Structures are given as C-alpha cells and as structure tokens.
C-alpha cells in the first residue's frame, strides 16, 4: 500500500488526459489560456496503461480520468479498455466531463468498462449557464446526463462550483433537480484555482450555508457519520425522495487529514496536492528508460512528500501557477 509520511493510505489516482477544454468557465479558464502540455509531452495511452498498472500494484483502487475536458483527447474508450484490464485489483474507473461531447462516446465508454461518470453542471438556466461557461450548451449537457442514466452508469454525479453572485441562488433548484432525476448533486466551494487569479474569499459560499439553504426547502439526513477519505458529506432527503446531495467544502471545512488522492497531469507530472506548487516529473523518469522497480521507488518517494494540508486559509498562501484545467481535478 502507498502511504505518505502522515500514515495516510493513497488509494485514488486522478489522471488528466489533456489540459485543453472547450468551455471557458470563469473560475477556471476565463481567457482561454494556451495549453501547457505540448503533444510530444503528453503521456501516451501505452505509457498511461503501464503507469496505472504500477499504481494499482501499489494499492491504488480507483482511477478517475479528468482534464481539461478529457473527451477532447482522441479514443478515450481505448484507454478505458486498457485500464479495465487491471480489474478486479482496480475497483473503479470514473470520468469527469463537461458533457458537451459525451453522447458520441457513451456507448463505447460503457462497453470499454467505464464504471461511473460525473458531469460539471454549474447552472440550470440557459442564460446563466452560457455566462458561466462561455458556451450555449445547457440542453446538450442535460441530454448527456439523461443518456448516462439510460446507458446504465450509476450513480450519475453532477458537480456545481458555487460562487456567490453567480449561481448561489440556484441551490434549491439543483436539489429539486436531484430529487426529480435521482442523481447525486454535489456542491463544491469556490477554490483559488482560476487562471485569472480573481478568487476572492467573499465569493465563497460555505458548505454550511449550502447545507442550510437546501435543508430549509428539502430537509436532509446525513447519510454517513464518517466520510472516511471521501471529499463530500453526503445527504439523502428526509422524505425518501430519490437523489443525493453532496457537499465538498475544502475552504471552510478542510479534509486534508484523510486525503487519499494523488494526481498525474497530462504531461506526466505527479502532484501530491491540488494546491501544491511542486510537481514531480514522472514522465522524464519513465522515458529515461527507468526500470519498473525504479519507477516504483520514484512514486513511493514522491508520495512520502505529500503535504499535510493545503494552505488556502494561511496569510502566506500562494495560488498554484497551473489552474484546475492544467492540474486535473
């Protein structure tokens, strides 16, 4: 098992397939910044399969494919099929997508062995959706969500980054949507990962406020008293309606002490924390001809350097140079 110096077990690997995205969400890529990862620096699917095999041999149980928008990368179902060969030691393969191009790939992703899919959905109102994402595509995304359910992906999760003055007036609407369609609606506090560096604490809607607002309209019941290494507190509806509410509050209710995650960027850099300013170049070690044992040692050494916590709430906090799109959520 991979353990860091604080005795946390690392079970979850997030793999970014690309740092490109076809949306321009104001909290991530408002100006459409150019890609960091040049084509020759991107890890190939064969390299990713090999690296994933090593991580799984070290105890990784879940892999999530992210971006950027991962479905911009060609032939993602091919990679999913390669990763599925690592089952049953690998227990779960998931994908996070903005949903814009999901319909074209839904069937092949399912057949390849993808277990779960999470969609980004920051508004249920067409005009506001366009303003937040820079793309008039709400109906297309909603169609993708329904298709995912019809295709047998379960649970289908939706992520909404809640930002005061932008979509905080839709919390109850989102909860109603979760009840109506039986999806897991997850609310995420606004984090300092935007390329414009416009993050302001005043724009953060706390997890507590989110919970209290929804609970006032639809009483909630805490699903688990101990979330373990999970990122969200999960709630069901007191009246037993379908659907689930999840609240991820890294700013006001940090959960670093139970973190089980490590990240691999599209250009092969290991990041031990979403907010880290340090990266570890696995790509160059791999391409230097390192043996499997040497790669194992490199990964184990990097994991031992995992930070005890993030420093968002510290006066000396320095925002990571790469945004969420470049890091891979």
DSSP symbols for 266-286: TTSEEESSTT-S--EEHHHHH
* Strand 261-264 with 244-248, pairing: unpaired
pLDDT at residue 228, rounded to an integer:
67
Least confident of 62-71, 180-189, 253-262: 253-262
Check pLDDT > 60 for residue 236: yes
Check pLDDT > 80 for residue 310: no
Report the distance separating Cα 327 and Cα 15, nearest Å: 9
Least confident of 73-87, 191-205, 284-298: 191-205
Fold of 2-327: TIM Barrel (3.20.20)
Taking residues 122-141, what's their average pLDDT? 97
pLDDT at residue 258, rounded to an integer:
84
- pLDDT: is 208 or 192 the higher one? 208
Distances (CA, A) of 198 to 26, 27, 232: 9, 8, 25
pLDDT at residue 75, rounded to an integer:
97
Check pLDDT > 90 for residue 254: no
- pLDDT: is 298 or 196 the higher one? 298
In the chain, what are the domain boundaries? 2-327
- pLDDT: is 256 or 214 the higher one? 214
Q: How confident is the model at residue 193 (pLDDT cuts 50, 70, 90)?
A: low
pLDDT at residue 309, rounded to an integer:
77
Taking residues 41-54, what's their average pLDDT? 96
Read off the pTM.
Answer: 0.92
pLDDT at residue 132, rounded to an integer:
94
pLDDT at residue 329, rounded to an integer:
60
Q: How confident is the model at residue 320 (pLDDT cuts 50, 70, 90)?
A: low
Nearest one of 55, 83, 65, 63 to 17, comparing CA atoms: 65
* Residue 22, token pair as written in the block: 């076809």
Nearest one of 74, 75, 55, 59 to 15, comparing CA atoms: 55
Taking residues 63-69, what's their average pLDDT? 94
Least confident of 48-57, 122-131, 195-204, 220-229: 195-204
Helix (H, G, I), strand (E, B) or coil at 93: strand
- pLDDT: is 102 or 1 the higher one? 102
Taking residues 62-82, what's their average pLDDT? 96
Residue 204 C-alpha from the chain's centroid = 19
* Residue 118, token pair as written in the block: 């999470």
pLDDT at residue 158, rounded to an integer:
98
Report the distance separating Cα 105 and Cα 227, nearest Å: 32
Report the distance separating Cα 246 and Cα 258, nearest Å: 17
pLDDT at residue 229, rounded to an integer:
64
Q: What stretches of 113-219 show up as alpha helix (H) in DSSP?
A: 126-133, 138-150, 171-181, 207-217
Report the distance separating Cα 180 and Cα 112, nearest Å: 29
Q: At what angle do helices 138-150 and 102-112 cross, to 10 degrees?
A: 20
- φ, ψ at 207 (rounded to 5°): -55, -40
Mean pLDDT score of the chain: 90
Report the distance separating Cα 240 and Cα 238, nearest Å: 5
Q: How confident is the model at residue 224 (pLDDT cuts 50, 70, 90)?
A: confident
Taking residues 107-116, what's their average pLDDT? 98
């Amino acid at each position: 098992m991979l353990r860091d110096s604080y005795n946390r077990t690392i079970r979850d690997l997030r793999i970014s397939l690309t740092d490109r995205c076809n949306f321009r969400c104001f909290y991530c890529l408002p100006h459409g910044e150019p890609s960091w990862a040049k084509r020759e620096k991107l890890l190939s699917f064969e390299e990713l399969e090999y690296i994933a095999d090593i991580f799984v041999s070290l105890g990784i149980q879940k892999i999530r494919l992210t971006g950027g928008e991962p479905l911009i990368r060609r032939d993602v179902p091919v990679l999913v099929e390669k990763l599925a060969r690592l089952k049953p030691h690998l227990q779960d393969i998931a994908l996070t997508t903005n949903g814009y191009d999901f319909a074209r790939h839904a069937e092949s992703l399912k057949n390849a062995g993808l277990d779960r899919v999470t969609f980004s959905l920051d508004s249920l109102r067409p005009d506001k959706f366009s303003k937040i994402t820079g793309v008039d595509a709400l109906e297309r995304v909603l169609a993708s969500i329904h298709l995912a359910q019809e295709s047998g992906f379960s649970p289908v999760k939706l992520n909404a980054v809640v930002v005061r003055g932008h979509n905080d007036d839709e919390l109850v609407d989102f909860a109603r949507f979760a009840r109506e369609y039986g999806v897991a609606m997850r609310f995420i506090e606004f984090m300092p990962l935007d390329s414009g560096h416009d993050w302001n604490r005043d724009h953060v809607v706390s997890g507590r406020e989110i919970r209290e607002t929804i609970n006032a309209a639809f009483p909630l019941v805490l699903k688990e008293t101990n979330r373990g290494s999970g990122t969200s507190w999960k709630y069901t509806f007191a009246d037993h309606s379908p659907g689930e509410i999840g609240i991820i509050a890294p700013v006001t209710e940090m959960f670093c002490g139970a973190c089980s995650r490590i990240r691999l960027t599209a250009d092969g850099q290991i990041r031990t924390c979403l907010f880290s300013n340090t990266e570890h170049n696995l790509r160059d070690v791999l391409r230097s001809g390192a043996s499997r044992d040497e790669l194992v040692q490199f990964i184990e050494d990097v994991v031992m350097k995992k930070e005890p916590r993030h420093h968002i709430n510290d006066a000396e906090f320095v925002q990571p140079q790469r945004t969420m799109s470049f890091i891979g959520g």
